[in-house]
A and B are shown apart, each in its own frame.
Chain A
Amino acid sequence: MHDDHVHPSPSGEHVEADGQWAFGTGFEDPLYGADTTVPDGIDGAELASCCVLLADDALIAAQRLAQWCTNAPELEEELALANIGLDLLGQARHLYARAGRADGTGRGEDAYAYFRDPAEFRNVRLVELPNGDYAFSVVRLLVFATWRLELFTRLTDTPDPVLAAIASKSIKELDYHRSYAAQWVVRLGDGTAESRLRAQRALDEVAPHLGELFTPHEHLRVDVASVRAETTAIVSRVLDTAGLVLPITESATGGGRDGLHTEHLPALLAELQSVARADPQATW
């Protein structure tokens, strides 16, 4: 099967038109068809490190969304959650592929996803937390998508053209994710007494993990202060509409970017990696 384009982006009609990169059409290589030479003047190791942490965020978030499969509150939401999960999985694949070229190891995406241990993962803790109820999942998604959209918007003019292209493609997806989550947070906040309670509780649980999102990282060269300001402003607007309050408890700096994870990540990875590791000689 040569046509590997299993998941067209929900962003719809624009995808093909701006497709300077033949994303997702390669048999094995998600960056098939793109010029993946690392331009002069770019530190490959640093670029790879940046791609890996962004990929890890997306992979773990996608894994959590996959756990909703067959458990969503309505069938139409199955489609929506899967679309978002597939978008993020696609982002992870492109970013890992970029990392493998940039760090000179030539590693494929699966080497990163399946054959690293939890302490080697660089995702923020927010994404590894268990799904909880639907309120927790959409509140987390709102924060995650809003923040990631801000990051990627700033990465569209990053010096590496491949990362810039991945960012450009991703922002259309993230815009949809944010909109989906925002709609739901408003519905839950402005819904029934029970949904409001659950949504507020979700916010209380998410709040301590916000600080980590805005901690500067040496290889992620974006203006963290402006990312923080924009993310907070947008999330606050949604919460205002929803009649919810973001508690001022953010303090933890996390540690996910340094490989210091909650106990939830090893369990998540054990499941994700189980088949691949059971028989490393196998071909899939």
Chain B
Amino acid sequence: MTDATPRTSAQWPLYEVFVRGKRGLNHVHVGSLHAADERMALTHARDLYTRRNEGVSIWVVRSDLITASTPDERDPFFAPSGDKVYRHPTFYDIPADVPHI
């Protein structure tokens, strides 16, 4: 999504949340939430995903900025999903150079 027009709708964009459970571990994807901006997303992430001290560090990133890998070639089952017209999560951009099958 590269829409540059200012959003004035009441719907806040979706952010993906990654939490480092403790020192020595990677950040792990834990879910998503809505927020108007990055700072709010971090605040919300702390309130939502670390209420019980589950984390030492949080990353948030707008879902529509995530570029997902092409599905695993060993499992052709996945292959065409980027092209399906289902109301797909718009937030997983498929690189433009991925061949259609």
* Direct contact, A vs B (beta carbon within 8 Å): yes
Q: Are A83 and B47 in contact (CB under 8 A)?
A: yes
CA distance A43 to B39 in the complex (A): 45
Max chain B Cβ within 10 angstroms of own Cβ: one of A8, A13, A74, A76? A76
- Interface code B53-77, partner A: CB below 8 Å = 1, 0 otherwise? 1011000000000000000000000
B26-51 near A? 1/0 per residue, CB < 8 Å:
00000001111001100110111011
Return the contact of A76 from the options B33, B39, B52, B53 (Cβ within 8 A).
Answer: B33
Nearest residue, chain A, Cβ from B36: A187
By a CB distance below 8 angstroms, the chain A residues around B46 are: 10, 12
Chain A min CB distance to B60 (Å): 12
Among B34, B36, B39, B53, contact of A8 (Cβ-Cβ < 8 Å) = B53
Say whether A76 contacts B35, CB under 8 Å. Answer: yes
Q: How many residues of B contact A (CB 8 A)?
A: 18
| Residues of chain B from 7 to 43 with CB closer than 8 A to chain A in the complex | 12, 33-36, 39-40, 43
Fill in one digit per residue for A151-191: 1 if any B CB lies within 8 Å of its CB, else 0.
00000000000000000000000000001100100010000
Between B43, B44, B52, the greatest number of chain A beta carbons within 10 A of the residue's beta carbon is seen for B43
Task: Kindly supply a per-residue 1/0 record for chain A positions 65-108, scoring 1 wherever the CB is within 8 Å of any chain B CB and 0 otherwise.
Answer: 00000000010100110010000000000000000000000000
Contact B53 A16 (CB under 8 A): yes
Q: How far is the CA of A15 from the CA of B56 in the complex (A)?
A: 11
Is B47 in contact with A80, judged by CB distance below 8 angstroms?
yes
Shortest Cβ distance from B88 into chain A, in angstroms?
A: 24
Nearest B residue to A192, CB-CB: B8
Q: Which residues of B contact A16 (CB under 8 A)?
A: 53
- Say which residue of A12, A74, A179, A183 sits within 8 Å of B53 (CB atoms): A12
Tell whether, in the assembled complex, residue A74 and residue B12 are in contact, meaning their CB atoms are under 8 Å apart: yes
Find chain B residues with CB under 8 A from A187 CB. 36, 40
Q: A183 with B51: in contact, given A12-B56, A76-B34 (CB under 8 Å)?
A: no
Tell me if A79 and B50 are in contact (CB < 8 A). no
B48 touches A79 (CB 8 A): yes
Let me know if B36 and A80 touch, CB within 8 A.
Answer: no
Q: Is the pair A180, B43 in contact by a Cβ cutoff of 8 Å?
A: yes
Contact B47 A76 (CB under 8 A): yes
Kindly list chain B residues whose C-beta atoms are within 8 Å of the C-beta of A183.
39-40, 43
Q: Is the CB of B51 within 8 A of A83?
A: yes
- Leading 7 A-B pairs by shortest Cβ distance: A79-B47, A76-B44, A8-B53, A13-B56, A80-B47, A83-B47, A79-B48
Inter-chain pairs besides A12-B46, A83-B47, 18 sampled, C-beta below 8 Å: A8-B51, A8-B53, A10-B46, A12-B53, A12-B56, A16-B53, A76-B34, A76-B40, A76-B48, A79-B47, A79-B48, A79-B51, A80-B43, A80-B44, A80-B47, A83-B51, A180-B43, A183-B39
Contacts from A to B (Cβ < 8 Å): 8, 10, 12-13, 15-16, 74, 76, 79-80, 83, 179-180, 183, 187
Selected A-B contacts with CB under 8 Å, 13 pairs? A8-B52, A8-B53, A10-B46, A10-B47, A12-B55, A12-B56, A76-B33, A76-B40, A80-B44, A83-B51, A179-B43, A180-B43, A183-B43
